[in-house]
Amino acid sequence: MKYHFKIKKEAQGFSASCVELPGCVTQANDTDELQQNMEEALNLYLDEPPDSRTVFPFPDRTIKGRTVVCVSVKPRIAFAFALRMFRRQRKLTQREAAALIGIQGALNNYQRLESSKTANPELETLVKIKRAFPDFPLDSIAE
């Protein structure tokens, strides 16, 4: 999963802002530091608390530009974020999503998938998610 940052040369260093995520901004003295800062800012921005009701947009693959760069999201954060946003867009509760996917047992078995700290689904779980939600953007997580 990759988001886009617009880079600006400042009087002292550089600044960058995520095109799709207003408020996701950073700055640095040089481009190497800026790259690290963009990755950190993006991952922190998307790794919201599990009880947050914020809905972020998925990346827009059509964004291009001379001063625009792609920044990757860490896979665990990308997966947890994508599952959370996908569920919210469909107005499902965690319990409803767990039932559709076929996750048995306590609700926290599903909740672990929506947390970047614990999201590390087995292949069997990924297959269940794709069967329940064929349009789940699993391929975009691995970009």
The 10s digit of each residue's pLDDT in 93-122 is: 999 999 999 988 889 999 999 988 888 899
- Give pLDDT, residue 50: 61
Question: What is the CATH code of the structural domain delimited by 2-72?
Answer: 3.30.160.250
Q: Are 16 and 8 contacting, i.e. CB atoms less than 8 angstroms apart?
A: yes
**Distance of alpha carbon 48 from the chain centroid:** 10
User: What letter would DSSP give residue 15?
Assistant: E
For range 127-135, the mean pLDDT: 92
Cα–Cα dist 20/3, whole Å: 7
Mean of pLDDT over the chain: 90
- For the chain, domain boundaries: 2-72, 77-136
- Summarised one tens digit per residue, pLDDT across range 17-35 is 999 999 999 999 999 999 9
- Give pLDDT, residue 137: 84
The two three-digit tokens of residue 136, written as one number? 């789940």
Cα–Cα dist 126/35, whole Å: 31
pLDDT beyond 80 at 44 = yes
Q: How far is CA 25 from CA 7, 19, 35, 80, 140, in A?
A: 10, 10, 12, 22, 23
Contacts (Cβ under 8 Å, ≥6 apart) of 137: 1, 58, 82, 86
